[in-house]
Amino acid sequence: MVEESVKPNLLSLIKEKLREINYPDGAEHYTSIIDKRNFDCILGLVDDSEVIYGGKFDADSLCIEPTITDHVSLEDPDWKYPPYTDEKNTG
């Protein structure tokens, strides 16, 4: 979530940094998601029509590349999943 007035500049800076890092496909640097259930849950939050950067994933290795989405609302039902709402959850 970001204030609309700073959004264009912030997105530009984030995209620039991600390009600078330049993760190749299947990069060893990607952190894999802990299990298939959580991988599927995270992918459920990514709507292809709203991806403005990244969004590729590898289901075999449970990896998702750095992804930026737009028009996200914490009121969306998918964001009600306990790990996203429980402040005591430390992973």
From the list 67, 69, 68, 58, the residue with the least C-alpha distance to 32 is: 58
Residue 34 located in a structural domain:
yes
Residue 46 located in a structural domain:
yes
Domain of residue 27, residue span = 7-85
Residue 48 reports pLDDT greater than 80: no
Residue 27 located in a structural domain:
yes
Q: What confidence tier does 29 reach under pLDDT thresholds 50, 70, 90?
A: low
Residue 90 located in a structural domain:
no
Residue 49 located in a structural domain:
yes
Residue 91 located in a structural domain:
no
pLDDT for 13: 93
Residue 33 located in a structural domain:
yes
CATH number at residue 24: 3.40.309.10
Number of domains composing the chain:
1
Residue 40 reports pLDDT greater than 70: yes
Taking the whole predicted model, whether its pTM rises above 0.75 is answered as no
Hunting for tokens 């259930």 — which residue is that?
A: 37
